[in-house]
Structure 1
Amino acid sequence: MDSLLQKPGQKPPQVQGRHVDKLDALPDEQLKKQDEAYLAKHHLDKLFGECLQGLVQEMPRDPLQFIIDSVQYGVEQAKQDPATGLPLHRKDKLLELFRVIDKQDTGRISFRSMQMYANRYGGQTLGPEELSSIFTDFKAGSDNLITQQEFLVFFSRVSKTISNAQFESMVKEMLN
């Protein structure tokens, strides 16, 4: 591909690192030592070792998200809740948000609590119909109250398709 982009008579660009087609003629042992030194210098051997160990121990629902979260937040924060599949770092932030909405600390959110929260934080953007629709999407129990678990399940579906940065931004916006 690179050769197709080159003009006739132009030298190929210098390759940084090692390119499989342009390897130096080094003995395997020397290449192995270079690789190990690079991994150790950047602490990648430890990082990927912990990540791999976490993968086989936890067997998360979403292994790719586990790897991303392990690199970004560490293996402990990457562990996924078996019931919702939420990584611990996301679950903690959502529980903080739940507590903000559940002012009475009942462990359940009523439509009225959701309405008060929306009026304070999103009153200009959410009308009564939208709020009612969102509340219905939480699939509240027969008592018409949203439990922490229902709250987490809802957000596990919502947050599955967004990056960690988008999730952080969403929660930050909802908490401020």
Structure 2
Amino acid sequence: MDSILPPRPGSRQGTVQGRHVDKLDVLPDELLKKQDEAYLAKHQLDVLFGEILQGLVKEMPTDPVQFIIDSVAYGVDQAVQDKESGMPLHRKLRLLDLFRIIDKQGTGRISFRAMQQYANRYGGQTLGAEELGSIFSDFKPGSDNLITQDEFVKFFSRVSKTITNAQFEAMVKEMMN
């Protein structure tokens, strides 16, 4: 009887870790446990999964799957999600870098004029005044008609909720260049 597992590239048909699938030797539980522990330790997966599990229990993120993905890609400390927006720390920090580029005076607020200057300098040729005004109002500026860092982050947390980390990085990179 042929193995039901497809062959892996570069491996013998139907083998798993050097043993034939149809002719598996019965191994004592202790030996299997030692093999598993050795594999986890060799790749430091026991430490990684332990940190991720501790982070999940401690933080109780609103999106636990994204937390796990971000923990593997950026580390548990960068995967922590903002309680209000749900945005992971690594994304929030990138957005704050972008905010500082637009907020040239360092006031912690962005005016329509600053947004317009930024748009004109970084590809705003395709944005008319009306479109830019619409985008600016989507940020929901405060009564002073200025966008704060929190409003900036909240806007992008809504906009970027459904995109991958790679898509997010590409978006921010494009906006910074």
Aligned to 1:89: 90
Normalized against structure 2, the TM-score is what?
0.87
Aligned to 2:37: 36
Aligned to 1:8: none
Distance 1:68 1:100 in 2: 28
Aligned to 2:9: none
Deviation (angstroms), 1:116: 0.3
Aligned to 1:111: 112
- Aligned CA RMSD, in angstroms, stands at 2.1
Inter-CA distance 146–31: structure 2 relative to 1 (3 Å threshold): same
Residue by residue over 1:83-123, the C-alpha shift from the partner in whole angstroms, topping out at 9 and shown as x without a partner, is 22111111111001001001111111111110000000022
Distance 2:16 2:92 in 1: 40
Inter-CA distance 105–81: structure 2 relative to 1 (3 Å threshold): same
Aligned to 2:175: 174
Distance 2:33 2:25 in 1: 13
Alignment of 1:164 onto 2:176: no
Distance 1:17 1:155 in 2: 46
Distance 2:15 2:166 in 1: 32
Aligned to 1:124: 125
Inter-CA distance 24–152: structure 2 relative to 1 (3 Å threshold): farther
Residue by residue over 1:36-90, the C-alpha shift from the partner in whole angstroms, topping out at 9 and shown as x without a partner, is 1111111100000000000000111111111001101111111111122111111
Percent identity at matched positions? Answer: 73
Distance 1:17 1:66 in 2: 31
Aligned to 1:72: 73
How do residues 141-156 of structure 1 correspond to structure 2 at under 5 angstroms?
141-156=142-157
SS at 1:162's partner residue?
coil
Inter-CA distance 134–46: structure 2 relative to 1 (3 Å threshold): same
Distance 1:24 1:62 in 2: 42
Distance 1:121 1:173 in 2: 9
**Paired residue type of 1:61:** T
Normalized against structure 1, the TM-score is what?
0.87
How many aligned residue pairs are there? 167
Deviation (angstroms), 1:18: 9.3
Distance 2:107 2:53 in 1: 40
Deviation (angstroms), 1:17: 4.3
Distance 2:89 2:148 in 1: 18
Give every structure 1 segment of 4 or more consecutive aligned residues whose post-TM-superposition deviation is greater than 3 Å: 15-19, 21-24
Inter-CA distance 132–15: structure 2 relative to 1 (3 Å threshold): farther
Q: Which runs of 5+ in 1 are unaligned?
A: 6-11
Distance 2:18 2:117 in 1: 59
